[in-house]
Amino acid sequence: MDARTKNPARFLWMTIIASILAVACQPALAGSAPMEPLPTFTPSPYYTETPAPTSTPQPTPTPPRLVPNFKHIVVIIFENKEFGTVIGNNKMIYFNLLASSYTLLTEHYAVAHPSLPNYISLISGDTFGITNNCEDCYINFLSLPDLIEESGRTWKTYQDDMPEPCFSGSTLRYVQKHNPFMYFDSIRLNPERCNRSVVPLTQLDEDIAANALPNFVFITPDICYSSHDCELELADGWLKEQVQKLYVALEATKEPYLIILTWDEGQGTHSCCGLPELAGGRVATILISPQVRQSFQDNTPYTHYSILKTISEAWGLPFLGHAADANTAIIASPWK
């Protein structure tokens, strides 16, 4: 007796369950309704995704300048005296008063002998192989005035006893070898530029009265007042007259300024800082400014190239020639 006759009810239920399972296990037929997709996550209106942290680039800080950004810089240069000949000498009472009141550079060295290479070095960073006081040894090279003009600033050299603007040659008391600007082609061969900026010292009073003092001023006394041919007392009296009028004019601007007093060369051959073994001697250099430390002596070794480098640093100009050398120090210690 099989299951159908022995227990017909149980057999019926087993047949129904088997049929249901068979249908459920068959693949979907073509044309049948597709399966419902799985539910996806919908963020709550209160849900916010935390973004991955990102680093915000910071601007590269500009390093502070080692020298104040002066509105005016004045250079006055004398002749042929060693540090020890001038400092403490009662024939230069005013010069020594300034040396004790402001900053005195005690280890400043001229770059060569004779005069002309030192003057050239102060505004170009090189001597260009010049070893004498020639008047026709012209230079086709950049100089400090070129960079000053490119920066939007102004300049003039005021030459004592110069007969007329842009005068070429020498007279009894005016000598071209103490006027480095006339040796650069870009100045001498440009009449408009030369007549505007290479002028007799008498124009200084006119420019001060007109409130037209340029940003860079280079003053050379004549062959007597520079102490080249005359006594130190005369140089000291001339210096007092110039510094006092400049002080009044510069203070009136209420802008930062610097007056540099120096000497083209000493009587010795002292050297430092990458100069030739026999250089131009040790000279006395004074820095006068409201921004300078008072009654201060700076014993850092400097050269004439350091003056050029310091002016360039103050105004953000490129360093010319040996001013770019690593052993040419910027004058940085005296500033407040």
- 203 falls within a domain: yes
What distance in Å separates the CA atoms of residue 297 and residue 295, rounded to the nearest whole number? 7
* Segments of 117-184 assigned E as strands: 155-159
The ranges of the chain with pLDDT < 70 are 1-63
- 16 falls within a domain: no
Per residue in 250-278, pLDDT (tens digit) is 999 999 999 999 999 999 999 999 999 99
pLDDT at res. 272: 97
- 20 falls within a domain: no
- 114 falls within a domain: yes
pLDDT at res. 284: 98
pLDDT at res. 243: 98
In single-letter form, the type of residue at position 312 comes to S
- 315 falls within a domain: yes
- 205 sits in the region (left: phi over 0; alpha: psi -120 to 50; else beta) called alpha
- 220 falls within a domain: yes
CATH of the domain at 256: 3.40.720.10
Provide the domain count of the chain.
Answer: 1
Q: CA–CA distance from 106 to each of 94, 161, 332 (Å)? A: 18, 31, 14
Per residue in 186-200, pLDDT (tens digit) is 999 999 999 999 999
The DSSP code for 2 is -
- 193 falls within a domain: yes
- 78 falls within a domain: yes
Q: What is the CB neighbour count within 10 angstroms for residue 66?
A: 14
Domain that holds residue 213: 72-324
